[in-house]
Amino acid sequence: MRIPNKAETKLLEPFKTIPLNQIFVPISKAEFIQATDEIKLAKVVGFDTETKPVFTKGEKSDGPHVVQFSLKNKAFIFQLHHSNCKKYLLQIFQSEDIVKVGFGLSSDHKHIYNKFGVKLKSVFDLNQVFQKKGYRSQVGARASIAIVFNQYFHKSRKTSTSNWALPKLSNNQLLYAANDAYVPLCVFNELGLVIENGQLVD
């Protein structure tokens, strides 16, 4: 099956994204504990990472710099430069009880292992669902919203290639990161998918 291109999706009604007032950036230990507890209770969360781009030949990335999780009504943006972050992030990464749903997560696996020395557990890549439906190429956030909701999800290339290592992210960065995690959760729920023991239940 053919994936709708960007020009085609732009003709559709806009997808309602998660707003700025529902995006939370934990900083203190108490805020990281609260965010982690809410993520654990959710059981299934949207997931993605952002990394400061590398433009110089031979330069190696030390990303990810941002890890984002989305629930049905809010998103959490974890900035890795915070000293309180790592302990709680590892709890989520290594939990088999929290299903982390996203698109094209192979690079995220690699970057997280290189940075933290741990493997992500209980991760579900939605591309395998679309492959079963006959889509040969990888289906990302924009295309999946067009296919599943018949709506348009805008993604800014300028924001995607911005500096994700900044101590304070811009509102555009927060919205971009949060919705990159929110979209896969919405698609997962709309398709009525169920995960048991790390496997998709048909």
pLDDT in tens, 38-71: 999 999 999 999 999 876 666 677 779 999 999 9
Answer for the pair 147, 10: CB distance below 8 angstroms, yes or no.
no
Bridge pairing between strands 13-14 and 199-200: unpaired
Which letter, b or e, does each residue of 36-53 get, where b requires 16 or more Cβ atoms within 10 Å of its Cβ?
beebeebebbbbbbbbbe
pLDDT, mean of residues 90-110: 92
Res. 105 pLDDT band, cuts 50 70 90: confident
Domain positions in the chain: 19-125+157-200
CA angle, 65 then 70 then 73, to 5°:
145
CATH superfamily assigned to domain 19-125+157-200: Ribonuclease H-like superfamily/Ribonuclease H (3.30.420.10)
- According to DSSP, the residues that pair with 196 across neighbouring strands are 199
Does the pTM exceed 0.85? yes
* DSSP state letter for 29: H
Q: With 80 as the cut, is the pLDDT of residue 123 above it?
A: yes
